[in-house]
A and B are shown apart, each in its own frame.
Chain A
Amino acid sequence: AQSVTQLDSQVPVFEEAPVELRCNYSSSVSVYLFWYVQYPNQGLQLLLKYLSGSTLVKGINGFEAEFNKSQTSFHLRKPSVHISDTAEYFCAVSDLGGKLTFGQGTILTVHP
């Protein structure tokens, strides 16, 4: 079985500040890792994914995430956020069979 824990349910931050959204996972097998973003009343959009290779993954909108196998973490970062980054962010893990398990989500609110 696999599980995902997003450590912060809400993260407030000021515009142009850096942000880190934390994600830890547990799994007994190799996994793929994903971050999705959801804007109000919309579906989920893929930000980035880790499949293999380099542990630093770059995604859309200036986001990046680092896979840390020893700490079973996949934290999402952005060096300078914009008002438009206000949304809910979901970390997810997929086993090789493809079943996706989501974390509870982190609401990022960017203040002017």
Chain B
Amino acid sequence: SQTIHQWPATLVQPVGSPLSLECTVEGTSNPNLYWYRQAAGRGLQLLFYSVGIGQISSEVPQNLSASRPQDRQFILSSKKLLLSDSGFYLCASRVFANYGYTFGSGTRLTVV
């Protein structure tokens, strides 16, 4: 079965600083990978998804970017964080459409 590792678990960063969140997947190959964000009081918003190495699709315009340098590695980045980037970031993986997603444990980002 799949396992998703996300780190760090919590992060406090000043406005204007860079960001790098990493997600790695074990137990499968060629997964579709996703980055979601939960802002306070809101549901899950899909930020990026990737169907393969180097292939990134952005769902919403924003201050963030994503990269997939390896099959089972998905990175979320920002050059300069904004206060509005605060939230709970979740990485997810999907192998088959009818299996749903497997989620990582998330990263709580607070921009101050």
- A residues sitting closer than 8 Å to B (CB atoms) are 32, 34, 36, 41-46, 49, 51, 90, 92, 94-100, 102-105
Closest to A100 in B: B101
Minimum C-beta distance from A42 to chain B (A):
6
- B residues sitting closer than 8 Å to A (CB atoms) are 4, 6, 9, 32, 34, 42-44, 46, 49, 88, 90, 92, 94, 96-98, 100-106, 108
Assess whether A100 is in contact with B100, with CB atoms less than 8 Å apart.
yes
Minimum C-beta distance from B45 to chain A (A):
9
Minimum C-beta distance from B55 to chain A (A):
15
Assess whether A102 is in contact with B44, with CB atoms less than 8 Å apart.
yes
Query: Would you call the interface of chain B mostly helix, strand, loop, or mixed?
Result: strand
Minimum C-beta distance from A94 to chain B (A):
6
Minimum C-beta distance from B25 to chain A (A):
13
Assess whether A32 is in contact with B104, with CB atoms less than 8 Å apart.
no
Assess whether A32 is in contact with B103, with CB atoms less than 8 Å apart.
no
Q: Which residues of B contact A34 (CB under 8 A)?
A: 100
Tell me the bound Cα distance from A95 to B94 in angstroms. 13
Tell me the bound Cα distance from A105 to B104 in angstroms. 18
